[in-house]
Chain A
Amino acid sequence: MSEKLSFNLTFIVAAVAFLALVPSLGAGERAIYFLSLTLIWGLFAAAFDLSFGVTGLLSFGHAALLGVGAYVFSILTADYGVPWGIGLVAGAATSGLLGLLYGLISMRVGGLFFALVSLAAAELIHILISSTLRDITGGHDGFPAVPRPMIGSSWDFYDNTTFYYLILAIVFVSVLLLAILRSSPFGRLCQGVRLNPVRMTHIGFRIARIRSLALLVSGVFSGISGGLLASLMMFISPETLSWTTSGDVLIMTLLGGAGTLIGPILGALVFETMRDVLSDLTVHWYGLLGLAFILCTIHLPEGLMSLRPGRLLGRLFASRRASKGELETILEGESKWRE
């Protein structure tokens, strides 16, 4: 049941080592931008999974955690000249507090009702940002000129490749922290809350606290994703807070494998690849993506992570052994019949 920390760490280090080499392998500007975007969505999906896959809280309001982090970061850095790093931390902290607010909601309602209330909360924030607070946020037109960091004169983060390395480093550290947290006693408590909240209460745990803490942490990492997204695109719009973003992150998570750290990141990669490829072919790309998602849920209900290379090879050899064994039984039976 418990995720193997060693497996997650090996995967993370190997993936980061490979991704660090990608620019030197001759990847073009578009590929680098695509990978940067995928890394950010991957971190967001991993943060979402802490709430959904690990703790069992299905939130349809995670777009607000991403969006609020993005807006707080953008406003502080662009309008108030706050340094990039401090802006990112402030955005993450605000999203964390919003996550905690979701946690307070989860004390009162659970299951589908929590999903609906979080959706309503996110839509409320969406309206606030797109109309009520338009003097600060830019309203429906979005918030332009979001800066990238300025560190000395030798680092030009307006170059997408240089900024890619910074995103890779931040996502690496964030995913590493999430991996450690998931394997920690706290991670096990979150699993317990998902599997059997009644028993958890009768063991003596206050599940409302555990849920709130999980949503706070999920909010912090969602906020980091939001800040990075705004900085990468140098723009943020209220569409980021739309319910479709919450739907997208759910699809990424389920596609890759909920309840695993690597799965949602893998799901984000597949999702972004399909979005990139299919949107070049047709304006109805979202429909095709939906079709792929339906096929995946039917044939791979546990997501792509159920196709682990080790497990796949195991299955393959098992079926070969079975076929060989079956063949021997048939031949044996046939020779007996001949006798």
Chain B
Amino acid sequence: MNALHDKHLVRGVDHAAFPTFDPVGTVRFYRDVLGFPVVHSICAAGWGPEKHPDFIHFFFDIGNGDRIAFFYYFGLEPLPGGRGDAYAQFDDDVPEFFLGSRHLALSVESEDSLNEYQRRLDDSEWATEMRVQHETIESIYTHDPNGYIVEITRALRPVTPQEDVDANLTIDALVDVVSRGDASIHALLNRKAELIVERSDDWDTLLAQPEATS
């Protein structure tokens, strides 16, 4: 046991890395269209047990010092397949919603900022494909040159402590119902109601420490 054992220590994204077969498009999209500065690059080869092509690993700043990074392998051809992105290709039997599930969402502080990024995208060959208001956020979406879905989002209002409590309760219920082999939304909502009743006496504590879980 040490002084850090129960602390939440991570500080955001150092970098999230993806392969690319189109470094020219990738640089145009992130640096020239979106205006994300190039902040680092490394060239290297396969020096480890697995032999692979020479490659370059390059980084764009996505705010807060966080970075999105790409690997470009010299001479490597795109993998065969029809649907998906540079990393993964899928058959026709994989549904569209599943392909659309994995994405990177970047945050902005204001409607003006969101509008500005929409303008930059709409002036490029990667126009905004969708603009959506969810419950508490507003987002724009496009696919980058590699087929990766990029979302830019802003909060319409701050997340409240009761939403954090509710999220924790939802996840506890989800783990319970999936663990017992009863994975359905009906089972989840029933289990959540049970947990709401169970925790009725503890709201003051839970709302005071929204990050605490049972």
A and B: interacting chains: no
